[in-house]
Amino acid sequence: MERTIRVLVAKPGLDGHDRGAKVIARALRDAGMEVIYTGLRQTPEQIVSAAVQEDVDVVAMSILSGAHNHLFPRVTELLKEKGVDDMLVIGGGVIPDDDIPGLKAAGIAAVFTPGSPTGDIIEFIKKNLKRKA
């Protein structure tokens, strides 16, 4: 049976709305993926724990508030602590270009800023899954 891609879509930090994350969730769903949506104001600990319990292939996070340099690397750090090395972690939101290299070095495989076509995100996920279908 063909493997269904499971994605956790999460909003770490204190953002007030999640319209963008919902658009992404919907686009991934329409691309045939199963999207576990966790809602607003999640701590990195909650995100990692949910990712493990749901056995997802991808963790997709979005931040608008500017806390990405702290929260995104914290998630990859916690995953590493738990010995999880086969989940693809991607980020998105309002993120200055200057911050992207640092995030990539911290294990965020790709960063999608406002205006990124959802098709690019879907393609990136399909091409970069760490667990092979």
Task: Give 129's contacts (C-beta < 8 A, 6+ positions apart).
Answer: 5, 57, 58, 88
Q: Which of 15, 20, 25, 103 binds another protein (CB under 8 A)?
A: 25
Give dist(CA 12, CA 45) in Å, integer: 10
Sign of CA dihedral 3, 84, 88, 70: positive
Give dist(CA 130, CA 114) in Å, integer: 25
User: Would you count residue 52 as binding another protein (CB under 8 A)?
Assistant: yes
User: Would you count residue 54 as binding another protein (CB under 8 A)?
Assistant: yes
* Closest CB to another protein among residues 41, 104: 41
User: Would you count residue 75 as binding another protein (CB under 8 A)?
Assistant: no
List of residues contacting another protein (CB under 8 A): 1, 3-4, 6, 25-26, 28-39, 42-43, 45-46, 49-50, 52-55, 82-84, 86
